[in-house]
């Protein structure tokens, strides 16, 4: 079985954390039946405890801004 995710281990993603646009490196990928989530680390080395669901991760800051701007 092949599982395809939007991002790969080591990729940098953008997401909202504490009401701020934040970038971090993916250090773990968790695939569940209902969703995929990424464990992220701000510097890529510190143990991370932040988990972000795939549909709230974006490749660029501009993609994140566009998503936030389009929500009602």
Which contiguous run of DSSP H or E holds residue 70?
helix 61-70
CA–CA distance, 45 with 50 (Å, rounded to integer): 13
Task: Assign 52 to helix, strand or coil.
Answer: strand
Supply the pLDDT for residue 1: 81
More confident residue, 17 or 45: 17
pLDDT tens, position by position, 21-69: 999 999 999 999 999 999 999 875 556 678 999 999 999 999 999 999 9
For residues 8-17, average pLDDT: 94
- In the chain, which ranges are E strands? 12-17, 20-31, 36-41, 50-53
In this predicted structure, the answer to whether residue 5 has a pLDDT above a threshold of 70 is: yes
Task: Assign 54 to helix, strand or coil.
Answer: helix
Supply the pLDDT for residue 69: 93
């Amino acid at each position: 079985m092949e599982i395809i995710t939007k991002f790969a281990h080591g990729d940098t993603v953008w997401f909202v954390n504490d009401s701020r646009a934040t970038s971090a490196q993916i250090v773990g990928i968790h695939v569940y039946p209902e969703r995929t989530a990424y464990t992220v680390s701000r510097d890529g080395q510190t143990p991370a405890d932040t988990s972000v669901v795939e549909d709230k991760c974006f490749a660029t800051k501009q993609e994140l801004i566009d998503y936030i701007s389009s929500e009602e």
